[in-house]
Each structure stands twice: as C-alpha cells, then as structure tokens.
Amino acid sequence: MKKIHIIGLGLLGGSFALALKKVKPEYIFTGYDSNPKNVEDALALGIIEESAEQPHDDTDLIVLATPANTLEEILLETLDQVGPSTLVMDFGSTKENLCKAVSQHPKRAQYLAGHPIAGTEYSGPKAALADLLDKKVFIICEMELTDVHLKAIAYEVLESLNMKLRFMDPEEHDRHLAFVSHLSHVSSFMLGKTVLDKMEDEKNIFDMAGSGFASTVRLAKSSAEMWAPILEENKSNVLEALSLYIANLSKFRDKIIADDYDGLKGEMKKINKIGDILDLGR
C-alpha cells in the first residue's frame, strides 16, 4: 500500500488520482489546493480521501500539479520538508527553469522531473477523467539524477497507468513543446480573439461557424490561469515559435495578395503530410 499526496487538485492531478485508484484501489490519496473549492470538489468526487496542507511523514510520492510559475517555490519547499523515503514528482509543462532551480538542492535525488502529455480545454477537479492519461506519453527529464530506488516508485505508478515513457533533456523538452503545444494554444486564443473582434460588427458570424472553426478554436477555452504562467516560463522558446509562425502567415498572405493560388495549393499540399506524421483521421 502506497500513500500519495497531490498538490494541485485540477485536471491533471485529479485525473492522475482517479486513474490510479482504478488499478491500485489500496493506495491512499491526500491532497491540497490553494483554492478551497477545488479541495471541496476533490473530496466530494473521491479524488482524495483527506485534505492535508502538508503530506504525512510516511508519504511515498508527492505530485506537484500546480501552475508552471508556482512550481519552483513549491518544489524547493517540499524537498526541504520531506523525509529520505519520499519521491517528489511534478507535472509541469516547462522543465528547464525548474531543473536549474533544483540542481544544487541537497535532496535533488528525491525529485523526478516529469510531464504527462495529456489534457483538455477544461480545468478543475470536475474536469478530471479517469482515462485521460491512458496510453499517453510521459516525458522524464534528467532521469539519471533521481535516486534509483525512489525512481522505481514512479515507474511502478506510470506503468500501471499504461503511460509511454520518453526521456529528454529539459532544454529540448521546452523547445519542442513551444512548437507542438504552446504555439497551438496561442494561435487558438488569437483565432478566437479575431472572430470575437469581428463579431462586434457582425452579430451573426457564429451562425456560420462549423466544425472546422470549433475544433481549431477549442483550445481557446483553456484556463488563462494555467497558460499565462506556461508562456512566462517558456518565453524565449515561445517567442521563437511565434516569430516563425508569423513569418509563415505573412508569406501565406503575400501569395493571396499576389494572386499566386498555384503557389498556395502547392504549399498546402506540402503541409498535408502532417496528417501522415500524426496519423490523423484514422
């Protein structure tokens, strides 16, 4: 029987607990969230059995699932307090700053830098799904710096959830995520803004919004409280991704201005291969 404490009882923290409860019903879950309503909902939904601001001394695993710009302070404070048999693991969407901040901590070996590649546009304990993490990728950074015995706790948990483990450097992780995750959220937010701005003049614009618009703008419903910190923590990589994206948009617009529709068609055909890469539509 293991004891797990979750700090941050939102979508990821809640989904992690619900999934693990299905396969490891003997595990005991405690948790804390700075939002009292999240604690109340997590207890009512059975995500945790007990609300506790501090984990019990015999806790095996502490999971940090709070906004990206809060993780550094929480991680350092948590490591200061834990005993030698407790592993601390985070679910943060950025890794470079966090790994640098903890690099000289005397209990660095008790930390595992992790990131589950999973989520929805919703937030909070009520958005938690027991199958959200099933067969999803879990990225681990600086694996070699975590104590081998404590690391086994994480492996047991992640493998029981059918997660696919991948190993990356923190810098590589943040650079890649800026393009495949962070940029897509920014573009979705800005598409939503563009249409909302137009709606001020044309009240019926949403009557013509089909499934293409809905799927593209879906991420614009994501939590601003979560995404602003991610963009803050990964600023340099996000700016690089945005610059390339804006340059490509400008080139696309220039082809339309020049009536170069053959060029547009050729460009879009090249981009179609993204469907093969991601195995879309199957």
In the three-class reduction of DSSP (H, G, I as helix; E, B as strand; rest coil), residue 87 is classed as strand
Work out the average pLDDT over 7-29.
96
- Which residues, other chains included, contact 84 with Cβ-Cβ below 8 Å and sequence gap of 6+? 110
pLDDT exceeds 90 at position 280: no
CATH code given to domain 172-278: 1.10.3660.10
Pairing of strands 87-90, 28-32: unpaired
> So what's the pLDDT on residue 213?
80
- Residue 274: pLDDT band (50, 70, 90) is confident
Work out the average pLDDT over 44-67.
96
C-beta of residue 19 within 8 angstroms of C-beta of residue 44:
no
For 222-261, b where at least 16 C-beta lie within 10 A, e where not — what string? bbeebbebbbebbeebbeebbeebeeeeeeeeebeeeeee
Whole-number mean pLDDT of the chain?
Answer: 93
> So what's the pLDDT on residue 214?
80
> So what's the pLDDT on residue 281?
41
Question: pLDDT tens for residues 115-170?
Answer: 999 988 889 999 999 999 999 999 999 999 999 999 999 999 999 999 999 999 99
Residue 233 and residue 98: Cα distance in Å, rounded? Answer: 9
Question: pLDDT tens for residues 189-234?
Answer: 999 998 888 876 666 766 666 677 888 888 989 889 999 999 999 9
Domains 3-168 and 172-278 are alike in CATH topology: no
Tell me which fold the domain 3-168 belongs to.
Answer: Rossmann fold (3.40.50)
Residue 228 and residue 226: Cα distance in Å, rounded? Answer: 6
- Residue 8: pLDDT band (50, 70, 90) is very high
Residue 176 and residue 165: Cα distance in Å, rounded? Answer: 16
Give the residue extent of every domain in the chain: 3-168, 172-278
> So what's the pLDDT on residue 282?
40
